[in-house]
């Protein structure tokens, strides 16, 4: 078999990463995009871990028909029952059970003997099998597990009915030759290995997640677990786009295919970055802003003469928009809709109206509106949260010899208007203080980032902030040609999220 099953865990391992909290609508948007990307399996969450995860798995399972929908579960009966509860109406469901296997985990965390773990693994797979056929099992910390014992567990769970066995390098400790060797051991020593699909799940603590995954494929693994932009616990997971493009570009060496529609890669990467707030580093392979940008004169000369001189992949293969500039302030609604369609966005009339209004606002201030600007505008309009307070007016006075002063006016959803002013150590501080005087929701800011969406002095600035309240993190985003205004929008966005969650919890 020369096809690799792509298992995406952006919504589980990726979301688990600190601060990556996504709301239900955002998870569904990502799941829909993963389906268009052609992901075989979507790990949608961990139903027993929280009511939010339970609902997310259920909702994604109801909406997405083109991919297998997987729910993660501890190796305990209640968690498995709960996973099944979330998955029972799904067209193609999978339960993924994990249980520690390494000596380190057994003695310091689980307090169980090897025999007890072996029995539990077998029983839990058998329990899941009473509900559905598609059951995956992961011996956690497999790369630090005694290979002989690992073979025994794998054999036992396949015997109990596991259809996929996943070998995780949970702590990102393995190096390629070693990890490939481990896969080879399993393929050659486990007598019933041919009855299950062998999978790997690699972490990037040593920057080797993709290399380890490819090495495992070389020795017979046929499922890779990965995430968009490589997000995930700590240093993250193996990146989907890197694995897929390595297989495609070096088919001569690997001889393996995936079902991924690579033209959707760039859009998926942008969406995940936008919604999680995890910025993609410019030099990131495949999807970074500089991944296809040639700086050296010799390289530029070569690429102009013949792209193949310095380009191993055509940027269009991963769906990077080819034209960099199309629209300006004279562009009409039709051209706007057309360009969005070319970028892969099909908006409802209502979203289009709002996005077009924002576009006109930007185009008034900025001569050239690029594709990146458009994507930012669209992302902010279609992922808008319901607003408890709307930012109606913000005014700032600051400078080297003045005390930063902000005046804000907010409109509450019932139509009541509030205005206030505050001093701060800087303009952003002053705005936040003025807003706080009106909204009065205690919170602590944990992150503040300003990014320029495009080049040039008139670029749109995008502000990302995270605030924390009662141990929960809320992400807010705002974009504007004025970064102070963008900061105010981002803060309102985070506050509105916080308030909408609080309202659901305490109606």
- The alpha helices in 260-348, defined as continuous H runs, are 265-276, 297-305, 333-342
Considering only CA atoms, which of 266, 500, 272, 497 is closest in space to residue 379?
272
Task: Tell me how far, at minimum, the Cβ of 271 lies from Mn ion, in Å.
Answer: 21
Q: Which is nearer to Mn ion, 232 or 321 (CB)?
A: 232
Q: Which is nearer to Mn ion, 23 or 170 (CB)?
A: 170
Q: Which is nearer to Mn ion, 140 or 256 (CB)?
A: 140
Q: Which is nearer to Mn ion, 278 or 345 (CB)?
A: 278
Task: Tell me how far, at minimum, the Cβ of 233 lies from Mn ion, in Å.
Answer: 5
Q: Which is nearer to Mn ion, 13 or 480 (CB)?
A: 13
Q: Which is nearer to Mn ion, 226 or 494 (CB)?
A: 226
Q: Which is nearer to Mn ion, 13 or 381 (CB)?
A: 13
Distances (CA, A) of 246 to 74, 110, 145, 288: 33, 38, 29, 16
Distances (CA, A) of 442 to 173, 433, 435: 41, 11, 11
DSSP structure string for 215-244: HHHHTT--EEEEBGGG--STT-B-BHHHHH
Strand 461-469 with 444-452, pairing: antiparallel
Burial class (CB in 10 A: 0-12, 13-18, 19+), 383: middle
Task: Tell me how far, at minimum, the Cβ of 457 lies from Mn ion, in Å.
Answer: 42
Cα three-residue angle 188-194-196, rounded to 5 degrees: 120
For residue 242, the number of C-alpha atoms closer than 13 Å in the C-beta half-sphere is: 24
For residue 450, the SS3 value is strand
Task: Tell me how far, at minimum, the Cβ of 228 lies from Mn ion, in Å.
Answer: 14
Task: Tell me how far, at minimum, the Cβ of 62 lies from Mn ion, in Å.
Answer: 26
Residues near Mn ion (CB under 5 A): 13
Task: Tell me how far, at minimum, the Cβ of 21 lies from Mn ion, in Å.
Answer: 17
Q: Which is nearer to Mn ion, 15 or 381 (CB)?
A: 15
Task: Tell me how far, at minimum, the Cβ of 235 lies from Mn ion, in Å.
Answer: 11
Q: Which is nearer to Mn ion, 125 or 231 (CB)?
A: 231
CA distance 402 to 278: 35
Task: Tell me how far, at minimum, the Cβ of 232 lies from Mn ion, in Å.
Answer: 6
Contact 73, 85 (CB under 8 A): no
CB within 8 Å of 401: residues ≥ 6 apart: none
Task: Tell me how far, at minimum, the Cβ of 13 lies from Mn ion, in Å.
Answer: 4
Strand 223-226 with 325-327, pairing: unpaired
Task: Tell me how far, at minimum, the Cβ of 226 lies from Mn ion, in Å.
Answer: 10
Q: Name the residue number minimizing CB distance to Mn ion.
A: 13
CA distance 379 to 422: 31
The single residue listed with the structure tokens 């083109």 is: 66
Task: Tell me how far, at minimum, the Cβ of 227 lies from Mn ion, in Å.
Answer: 9
Tokens matching residue 179 = 């990890």
Task: List Cβ<8 Å contacts ≥24 apart for 417-424.
Answer: 417/392, 418/389, 419/393
CA distance 501 to 503: 5
Helix axes 147-159, 114-129, angle to 10 degrees: 30
Q: Which is nearer to Mn ion, 137 or 345 (CB)?
A: 137
**HEC secondary structure over 152-194:** HHHHHHHHCCCCEEEEEECCCCCCHHHHHHHHHHHHHHCCCHH
For residue 218, the number of C-alpha atoms closer than 13 Å in the C-beta half-sphere is: 18
CA distance 437 to 441: 9
Q: Which is nearer to Mn ion, 170 or 262 (CB)?
A: 170
Strand 93-100 with 135-140, pairing: parallel
Q: Which is nearer to Mn ion, 13 or 387 (CB)?
A: 13
Task: Tell me how far, at minimum, the Cβ of 6 lies from Mn ion, in Å.
Answer: 16
């Amino acid at each position: 078999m020369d096809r690799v099953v792509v298992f995406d865990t952006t919504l589980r391992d990726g979301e688990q990463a600190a601060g990556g909290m996504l709301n239900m609508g955002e998870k569904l948007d990502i799941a829909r995009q993963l389906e268009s990307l052609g992901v075989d399996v979507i790990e949608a969450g961990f139903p027993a871990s929280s009511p939010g995860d339970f609902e997310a798995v259920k909702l994604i399972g109801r909406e997405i028909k083109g991919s297998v929908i997987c729910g993660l579960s501890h190796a305990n009966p209640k968690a498995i029952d709960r996973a099944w509860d979330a998955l029972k109406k799904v067209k193609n469901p999978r339960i993924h059970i994990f249980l520690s296997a390494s000596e380190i985990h057994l003695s310091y965390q689980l307090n169980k003997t090897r025999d007890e773990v072996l029995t539990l693994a077998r029983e839990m797979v058998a329990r899941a099998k009473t509900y559905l056929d598609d059951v995956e099992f992961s011996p956690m910390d497999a790369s630090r597990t005694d290979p002989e014992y690992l073979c025994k567990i794998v054999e036992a769970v396949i015997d109990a009915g596991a259809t996929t066995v996943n070998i995780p390098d949970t702590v990102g400790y393995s190096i390629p030759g070693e990890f490939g060797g481990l896969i080879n051991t399993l393929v050659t020593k486990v007598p019933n290995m041919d009855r299950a699909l062998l999978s790997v799940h690699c972490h990037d603590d040593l920057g080797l997640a993709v290399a380890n995954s490819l090495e495992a494929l070389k020795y017979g693994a046929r499922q890779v677990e990965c995430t968009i932009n490589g997000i995930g616990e700590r240093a993250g997971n193996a990146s989907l786009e890197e694995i897929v493009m390595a297989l495609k570009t070096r088919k001569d060496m690997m001889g393996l295919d995936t079902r991924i529609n690579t033209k959707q890669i760039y859009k998926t990467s942008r969406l995940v970055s936008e919604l999680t707030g995890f910025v993609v580093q410019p030099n990131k392979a495949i999807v970074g802003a500089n991944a296809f940008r040639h700086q050296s004169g010799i390289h530029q000369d070569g690429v102009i003469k013949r792209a193949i001189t310095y380009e191993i992949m055509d940027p269009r293969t991963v769906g990077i928009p080819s034209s960099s500039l199309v629209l300006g302030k004279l562009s009409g609604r039709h051209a706007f809709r057309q360009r969005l369609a070319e970028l892969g966005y099909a908006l409802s009339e209502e979203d289009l109206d709002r996005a077009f209004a924002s576009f006109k606002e930007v185009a008034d201030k900025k001569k050239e509106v690029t594709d990146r600007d458009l994507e930012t505008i669209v992302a902010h309009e279609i992922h808008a949260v319901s607003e408890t307070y709307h930012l109606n007016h913000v005014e700032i006075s600051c400078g080297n010899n003045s005390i930063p002063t902000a005046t804000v006016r907010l409109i509450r959803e019932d139509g009541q208007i509030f205005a206030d002013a505050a001093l701060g150590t800087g303009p952003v501080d002053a705005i936040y203080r003025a807003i706080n005087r009106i909204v009065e929701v205690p919170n602590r800011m944990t992150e503040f980032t300003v990014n320029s969406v495009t080049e040039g002095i008139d670029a749109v600035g995008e502000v990302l902030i995270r605030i924390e309240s009662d141990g929960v993190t809320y992400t807010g985003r705002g974009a504007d040609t004025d970064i102070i205004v963008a900061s105010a929008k981002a803060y309102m966005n985070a506050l509105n999220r916080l308030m909408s969650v609080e309202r659901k919890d305490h109606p």
